[in-house]
Structure 1
Amino acid sequence: MTGSRSSHRRRLLQARRHPLQTLLSLVILLLISWVVWSTGAWLIGGANWLIVTENLPLFAVGSYPESERWRPLLWLALLSLMTALTLLQPIISTRLRISGLVLSWGWLAMLPIGLLLLAGGAGLQTVSSRDWGGLTLTLLLTGFSGLLALPLGILLALGRRSSLTLPRHLCRLYIDGLRAVPLIAVLFFGQLLLPLFLPVEIEINRVLRAVVAFALFAAAYVAEDVRGGLQAIPGTQLEAAAALGLGPWQIQRLVLLPQALRVAVPALTNQAIGLLQNTSLMAILGLVELLGISRSLLANPAYIGRHLETYIWLAGLYWLVCTAMALMARQLERRHPSSTSAIPS
């Protein structure tokens, strides 16, 4: 208590010696308060949110047939339920807590369930991918692209660290080449140029082309994140695994990769969030995800001049989804902390 009083007295004396610094701090605080107050007053009383409230179904599912909108909405509800169950695990009693394995399989099942609900089949009416859009399409692109990019990135990271010359140089060429190319160029090639090289009778779905382009691009960055995790593991791990009689593939599968992926969780989370945000580039190439829906709505004469409300709404929606992803990744880190001091059993 005495120490806190003395430190407080010391700060007051320092403020008296530097009045200009104190005045500048007060001015900055007043400026921040004014900005927060003005922004809040505009958001509550000055903004016109009709463009958002009247078009919430469009932001959620795009131009999906109205009679079948329950399908993408059901998938979004399942995703929200899985997110809530995952984030509430630390505060749920041990008796009601869901195991991490069940949650993992539940998240993996969300992608085929979403594809089945959106595309149709198994008794559901078939809906063309041209009618997919909004938040549903954004999450679908992110999920499938990440699912393809992760194993491909792991293989590239292992290939770049390989002792074989040809695979090592090919993986290095791929990783360095994709990282040197802007994402919009890869998407442009996948959406517009790739069909020109295929026979006329072969037509690849636009959503599939987008997923493959995103996955190929993200895999190069995932490979570098995984390679960083592999480099963080001390060499004594390899020596101990070899002393136990494990083969090269067993060492990679049982010793190196589990620890490397735990170390790389923060970087991989950053890549997943970046992948979600980069799906907005598809609006330039014709897919009506969140940004594409907003652009089409702003072209409506009834909503001319509502750009600020629209983009603030989009920013808040992206922030909500990205924050949920970051919190789930942080919970994964706490549940499985990275450790390179011992070989996992």
Structure 2
Amino acid sequence: MTATSLKQSSARLRRRDPQARRNFLWGLFFTSPAIIGLLGFTAYPLLASLYYSFTSYSMFGPIRWIGLTNFTDLFTDSNWWLSLYNTFYILIFSVPLGILVALGLALLLNSKVRGITVYRTIFYLPSIVPIVASAVVWSYVLNPQYGVLNNILSAFGINGPGWLTSPDWSKPALILISVWGVGNLMIIMLAGLQDVPQDLYDASRVDGAGVWGRFWNVTIPFLSPHLLFALVTGLIAAFQYFAPAYVLTNGEGTPAGSTLISSLYLYQNAFRFFKVGYASAMAWVLFIIIVVCTVLVFRFVGRRIYYGGA
């Protein structure tokens, strides 16, 4: 390239700079509401909670720096360990069960029957009902005296348990409520099923594969990215499970602390006991636990995922 062409190129770039600057400023202007919202409602609370986790702060008094005291106190807090146990109990059962139910519904709704769109709508509806409203409805469904579920069980000669009044049945009740709202996950599974190449099903039939063989060797590999997504998002959602436990127990975690999950205990410390620093430390410990669990999932499960065509 000659010196003349270089000068011409630099002159064009200089002429373009004011226009590029104006475009950049206009872009900032139109995106400023989103940027301000991100900074004010996400970045600032995140950094503030990190700072508060090293302090003693009650929202009404002065902030006092105490270092790692909040984190060390968690190791001797029996309620914290109880909340972690309850959280992991719900997680271990609700996440796999939710994936299985969503996959089963997707397999049923992937069939070509008359009125299939109506069935898809019906099964998807629970996932768009507001969480608080659905929790209130479930409080009536699970009522041990006049609840719908126990009335159905009594029709078969089964004496229904006191779902939300028994320490043995309160966590299964929360698991049941979480599985009831798997409509979003069902739609994702249904989309994955419809992406499986029909040619592979035809080839497997020619090779003599039965229904189970086609499902295990064709459907599951193509659905594995969706299953990984469901596992990771379900894991994160289980650690953040809050609204049903709060509404159904009036924020107490009753009976006998059986529904005192980590997010609910965090809420109690922040907004009932006003231990903002202690609650912030809980939040960051939960964040670390979620990160570790997610990394382990990707390490031990992610490597077995099949990405079709990749």
TM-score (norm 2): 0.63
The answer to whether the 8 A contact 1:187-1:214 is kept is: no
Structure 1 counterpart of 2:189, from 210, 226, 230: 226
Q: How far apart are residue 269 of structure 1 and its match?
A: 1.7
Question: Structure 2: how far apart are the matches of 1:170 and 1:40?
Answer: 46
Question: Letter of the aligned partner of 1:291 in structure 2?
Answer: S
Report if aligned partners of 2:221, 2:306 keep a CA contact under 8 Å in 1: no
Q: 1:283 to 1:262 in 2, by over 3 A?
A: same
Distance 1:165 1:249, change over 3 A: farther
SS class of match (1:278)? coil
1:183 counterpart = 2:131: yes
Contact 1:234 1:340 in 2 (8 A): no
The 8 Å contact of residues 105 and 186 in structure 2, kept in 1 or not, is answered as yes
- Partners of 2:160 and 2:302 lie apart in 1 by 51
Q: Is residue 2:286 matched to residue 1:318?
A: yes
Aligned partner of 2:261 in structure 1 is 289
Contact in 1 for aligned 2:200/2:218 (Cα 8 Å): yes
Question: Of 96, 106, 111, which residue of structure 2 is paired with 1:162?
Answer: 111
1:134–1:289 contact (8 Å) kept in structure 2? yes
Distance 1:263 1:53 in 2: 36
Match in the other structure for 1:135: 84
For 2:50 and 2:108, the matched residues in 1 are separated by 56
Quote the residue 1:172 is aligned against: 120
Report matched runs for 1:45-60 at 5 Å: 47-48=63-64, 52-53=70-71, 55-57=73-75
- Change in Cα spacing, 1:293 to 1:254, as seen in structure 2 (3 Å) is same
Post-superposition shift, 1:281? 4.5
Q: Deviations over 1:102-156 (max 9, x none)?
A: xxxxxxxxxxxxxxxxxxxxxxxxxxxxxxx422212211221112212111110
Q: How far 1:321 sits from its partner (Å)?
A: 2.5
Question: CA 1:171–1:140 in 2, change beyond 3 Å: closer, same or farther?
Answer: farther
Quick one: which amino acid aligns to residue 204 of structure 2? A
Q: Is the 8 A contact 2:224 2:305 kept in 1?
A: no
Is the partner of 1:163 in helix, strand or coil?
Answer: coil
> Separation in 2 of the partners of 1:19 and 1:251?
57
Structure 2: distance between partners of 1:337 and 1:41 = 35
SS class of match (2:266): helix
Q: Is residue 267–residue 279 contact of structure 2 (8 Å, CA) maintained in 1? A: no
Over the residues paired in the alignment, what is the CA RMSD in angstroms? Answer: 4.5
Higher relative contact order (CA 8 A, sep 6+): 2
| Whole-angstrom distance in 1 between the partners of 2:234 and 2:90 | 14
Tell me, which stretches of 5 or more residues in structure 2 are unaligned?
A: 1-11, 33-38, 56-61, 164-168, 254-259
Give the counterpart letter for 2:188 in structure 1: D
Deviation at 1:296, TM superposition (A): 3.8
Residue 162 of structure 2 aligns to a residue in which SS?
coil
Q: Please give the per-residue CA displacement for 1:82-117, whole angstroms capped at 9, x wherever unaligned.
A: xxxxxxxxxxxxxxxxxxxxxxxxxxxxxxxxxxxx
Aligned pair count? 256
Matched, 1:62 2:26: no
- Three-state SS of the structure 1 residue aligned to 2:291 is helix
Provide the C-alpha distance between the structure 1 equivalents of 2:50 and 2:285, rounded to a whole number of angstroms.
Answer: 20
Inter-CA distance 249–295: structure 2 relative to 1 (3 Å threshold): closer
Q: TM-score, normalised by structure 1?
A: 0.57
2:174 corresponds to 1:245: no
Question: Where in structure 1 are there 5+ consecutive unaligned residues?
Answer: 1-9, 64-71, 73-132
| Pairwise CA distance, 1:244 | 1.0
Letter in 2 for 1:188: V
Q: Give the superposition deviation at 1:276.
A: 2.5
Based on CA coordinates, which of the two structures has the bigger radius of gyration? 2
| Contact 2:269 2:279 (8 Å CA) reproduced | no
| Equivalence for 2:174 | 210
Q: Distance in 1 between the 2:285 and 2:50 partners?
A: 20
Deviation at 1:213, TM superposition (A): 0.8
Number of the residue aligned with 1:112: none
Change (3 A) 1:256 1:291: closer
Where do 4+ consecutive residues of structure 1 move more than 4 Å? 10-22, 38-51, 168-171
Partner amino acid for 1:52?
A: N
What is the distance in 1 between the residues matched to 2:125 and 2:96? 22
Answer whether contact 1:145 1:211 (CA < 8 A) is retained. Answer: yes
Counterpart position of 1:336: 304
Question: Identity percentage over the alignment?
Answer: 15
